[in-house]
Amino acid sequence: MPGPIPTRVRIVPTKYHDTPVDVFRDLGVSAAIWANHAMRAAITAMVETGEEIYRTQSISGVEKKVAPLREVFELTGEDIFEEFAQRY
């Protein structure tokens, strides 16, 4: 008869941001999912970018802080636009 099936414990500790990861590890947690921190960071960045554009009435000051269009197209699977640009 096979041995016991290993238990996997996954947590989504959004409200426990002050708890060190070692505490979860010591409790036997096998994976922590930081579910919405990237989204929350993106919201902060979008608000700050929008405020700067409104304040300066220009996008030139934020261009160096934002992802290049090439990266946007790669992430969204739209690299075909680059191919079209080269071809036509």
The average confidence (pLDDT) of the chain is 88
User: Residue 63: which of 52, 47, 74 has the closest Cα?
Assistant: 52
pLDDT at residue 72 above 70?
A: yes
For the whole prediction, is pTM greater than 0.75?
Answer: no
Amino acid 15: pLDDT: 87
Report pLDDT digits (tens) over 37-68. Answer: 999 999 999 999 999 999 999 999 999 999 99
Note the helical H segments in 7-79. 21-26, 37-56, 69-75
Q: Which two tokens stand for residue 54?
A: 């409104």
